[in-house]
Structure 1
Amino acid sequence: MTIRWYFDFISPFAYLQRARIRELARTQAIEYRPILVAGLLQRLEHKGPAEMPDKRRFTYRHVVWRARERGVPLRFPPAHPFNPLAALRLCIAAGCSDAAIDAIFDHLWRDGLRGDDAASLAPVAERLGLDAATAIAAPAVKARLQANFEAAVADGVFGVPTLVADGEVFWGEDATAMFEDWRRDPAAFEQGEMARVAQLPVGVARTPRAG
């Protein structure tokens, strides 16, 4: 079974899930797939939580609370949302290695530093043995990021972080335990109420307001 982890460095929840992903990767192969989540939101015509002021405030406070609850060091970058393209491309240029993923996440979310261009990521790139400007401008890197996006769309991904395996999608840091339960007993997700809600009819659909 192929397990794919889709993530974007813009997501603090991906940072919070990262430790559990490392643990899972000790016993099963996981493909790391950095993607630009803004592209998904645009494709699906969704708003991100940071685009709604009240939800933005709650989400940020929830992230801080969740990190404290789990004992994960966290400090938000100077501004959020930020443009994560440079960080995503640097990760791909470094082979999406554990060292690269951890270094970029730690730079942004543990240390609370900028990572929206080559200059701000230069110290991380240097530790990874790369030149930031050269790495993020490479055509092959850009092509791989686009391929990851198309794969995410094909897998039915609608947000990050998301684990995908055997056609099942597990979205969000708080769905990690659900994924682990599914791995232990996938048949339980095809029975009873789990099976019924998967086919539940729509009772009413919201229609866009004219004008």
Structure 2
Amino acid sequence: MNTAGPTEWFFDFISPFAYLQLEQFDRLPATLDIVPRPMVLGALLNHWGQKGPAEIGPKRVFTYRYALYRAQTLGITLRIPPAHPFNPIKALRLAIAMGSSLDVIRRIFRHIWHDGHEVGSPEGFAALCEAMGCRDGLADVEAQQVKDLLRANTDRAISLGVFGAPTFVLDGELFWGEDATGMLLHCLREPGWLASDEVRRVSTLPVGIQRA
């Protein structure tokens, strides 16, 4: 595994697991060149024909419980906003308008998932802009170049095979989910693991049966 190039991190503010993963970035090597990519998870789900976890009743309850469990296990403050799922589009555009730095992204995530604020309503988004110190945020998120970059990030995610959030993409390999952080670290320490015989075997298993 060649780690000379950047490591893309695809995320959506709608995901509590993206927040939990970001809060663990201090576990990653300082030499890792992380390029954040705000994207629209809903567009990915539509592309792959998937339902989101919150669209399946029992899975929705489990997802919130598991997110809370992970947060408590990791010692990370998590306060789920008052309604979920919510519309994350403007928050994603705001991150792009403000430069998509990890600092900006972290502050937005913490506003939502640490402090428990909603950002889907006009009032909630205006409060986010105020908290971020972005006086022109309401106008900035309507700029065509901002919209185009969010779409380009989402299209790139699809082209790379990304199917969920959060996802690291390193050398074309996908590491999906907060709980795959350890797998990414393992592959950085053991660069030959993905090329090992058993990993190669399970990566090319034939499909035994398909649903009609």
TM-score if structure 2 supplies the norm length? Answer: 0.93
% identical equivalent positions: 47
* Aligned residues between the structures: 207
**1:5–1:162 Cα contact (<8 Å) kept:** yes
Match among 140, 160, 164 for residue 165 of structure 2? 160
**1:118–1:133 Cα contact (<8 Å) kept:** no
- Unaligned runs of 5+ residues in structure 1 are none
Alignment partner, residue 99 of structure 2: 95
Match among 82, 85, 105 for residue 86 of structure 2? 82
What is the alpha-carbon distance in structure 2 between the residues aligned to residue 27 and residue 137 of structure 1?
35
- Unaligned runs of 5+ residues in structure 2 are none
Alignment partner, residue 195 of structure 1: 200
Alignment partner, residue 177 of structure 1: 182
Match among 136, 140, 151 for residue 135 of structure 1? 140
In terms of mean alpha carbon deviation, does 101-110 or 114-123 score higher? 114-123
What is the alpha-carbon distance in structure 1 between the residues aligned to residue 144 and residue 26 of structure 2?
29
Runs of 4+ residues deviating >6 angstroms:
none
Match among 39, 55, 80 for residue 35 of structure 1? 39
Q: Tell me how far 1:29 sits from its aligned partner.
A: 1.1
In terms of mean alpha carbon deviation, does 4-13 or 114-123 score higher? 114-123
What is the alpha-carbon distance in structure 2 between the residues aligned to residue 101 and residue 22 of structure 1?
15
What is the alpha-carbon distance in structure 1 between the residues aligned to residue 158 and residue 94 of structure 2?
22
Please give the residue correspondences for 1:51-130 in structure 2 after superposition, counting only pairs within 5 Å: 51-130=55-134
What is the alpha-carbon distance in structure 1 between the residues aligned to residue 93 and residue 18 of structure 2?
17
TM-score if structure 1 supplies the norm length? Answer: 0.93
**2:108–2:132 Cα contact (<8 Å) kept:** no
**2:129–2:138 Cα contact (<8 Å) kept:** no
Alignment partner, residue 150 of structure 2: 145
Shift of the 51–127 alpha-carbon distance from structure 1 to 2, 3 Å rule, reads: closer
What is the alpha-carbon distance in structure 1 between the residues aligned to residue 115 and residue 16 of structure 2?
13
Match among 17, 23, 28 for residue 19 of structure 1? 23
**1:118–1:136 Cα contact (<8 Å) kept:** no
What is the alpha-carbon distance in structure 1 between the residues aligned to residue 133 and residue 145 of structure 2?
18
What is the root-mean-square deviation of aligned Cα atoms in Å? 1.4
Alignment partner, residue 12 of structure 2: 8
